[in-house]
Amino acid sequence: MTNMRNIAKEAGVGIATVSRYINNTGYVSEEVKSKIERVIEKSNYRPNELARAIFTRNSKIIGLLVPNISNPYFNEMALIIEEFVSNLGFSIFLCNTNDDPEKERHYIDVLQGHRVAGIITVRSQCKEEYTTHDIPVISFESNISEQIITVSTDNYLGGRLAFDHLYECGCRKMVHIAGPDFSNAINDRYMGFVDAAKEKNLEVDIIQFKTDFQRKMLEANIRTLEDIESYDGIFVFNDIAAATVIRYFKLKNVNIPQQVQVVGFDNSYIGEFLYPSLTTIEQSVQEVSKILAEVLVKLIKGEAVEQRKISIIPKLIQRETTKTFEKLN
């Protein structure tokens, strides 16, 4: 039976070298690489997809790293990407990083070990880990390196749209509930909101949450917001956090939109199911997911992609958590 030991013996190299080659964990000279490849080629040991991938260095698996699949935006994204790539013969290897760089690093290693054909990484906190191997990578939101293509919404514009809408709906005492500050996307939403407020000479308050990926953690954050009903307008950094804010107001008998108006960000499917349904800033999950999948497949096929930054234009989706203009008059 062909195994690493046999391959090493036949190629005339050490087992550690074969292991470095197969796991892509260190330097192997071109000459040694071709010796190992020749032995692997000769062997017809092809027991399963993983082994095939290891031997041919080319699997039909795409690694998808998301902060946490329990966020509706990310679970919809995973569904759309999976559908798109499966039509092209690829399967998805889904990893939840929990916004933990250690966990993300671990998954990058696992994906390398599985010889994935490409990686889609969402809100990544790692950098060199993506540049020290030759697997094609595309990033949503995080700028990893000059070489790696980033897709992101114009979050700054999104923050401005949220402010302008609340302002037009009559809000004058506003607060922004911002998310974890390691995310460019979240910081840009915050900056857009604050800059638009400055232009109207309005001071806005900011509250910062440390997480958005688990409902329980969000609820714990929200319970600390004592005077939240003293505001008449709230812009929340994403829909799942906005859903938790709405529920909190329900429990406190605060009426939305009569007393407080709320705007989320994402336009994930959860917004329509809420009562009252959520006004939000859309970052089209269809558009984002399709671009991520399409561009990655191009990179896997070795096709050139010129654009390094791909920007999605956000748009206001008005529902029931903000007053309609008729109600204002």
Q: Site residues (CB under 6 A) for ligand XLF?
A: 71, 73, 123, 141, 179, 183, 185-186, 212, 237-238, 240, 265-266
Alpha-carbon torsion angle 120, 125, 131, 135, nearest 10? -20
**CB 212 to ligand XLF: min, Å:** 5
Q: Minimum CB separation from ligand XLF for residue 40, in Å?
A: 41
Residue 15: C-alpha distances to residues 8, 22, 41, 173 (Å) = 5, 10, 17, 67
Distance of CA 239 to the CA centre of its chain: 14
Given the complex with ligand XLF, which of 232 and 266 has the nearer CB atom? Answer: 266
- 278 or 300: whose CB is closer to ligand XLF? 278
Nearest to 150 by CA among 314, 286, 316, 305: 305
Cα–Cα distance list, 272 to 5, 229, 307 (Å): 58, 23, 34
Least distance (Å) between residue 81 CB and ligand XLF: 15
**Cβ distance to ligand XLF smaller for residue 39 or 271:** 271
Q: How far is the CB of 8 from ligand XLF (least distance, A)?
A: 45
Give the nearer residue to ligand XLF in terms of CB position, either 53 or 81: 81
Are the C-beta atoms of 228 and 234 separated by less than 8 Å? yes
Nearer to ligand XLF, 129 or 212 (CB): 212
Helix (H, G, I), strand (E, B) or coil at 20: helix
Question: Which strands sit side by side in the sheet containing 91-96, from one edge to the other?
Answer: 91-96, 61-66, 118-122, 137-140, 149-153, 309-312
Residue 238 Cβ, how far from ligand XLF at the closest point, in Å? 4
Min. distance of Cβ 227 from ligand XLF in angstroms? 25
CB nearer to ligand XLF: give 183 or 322.
183
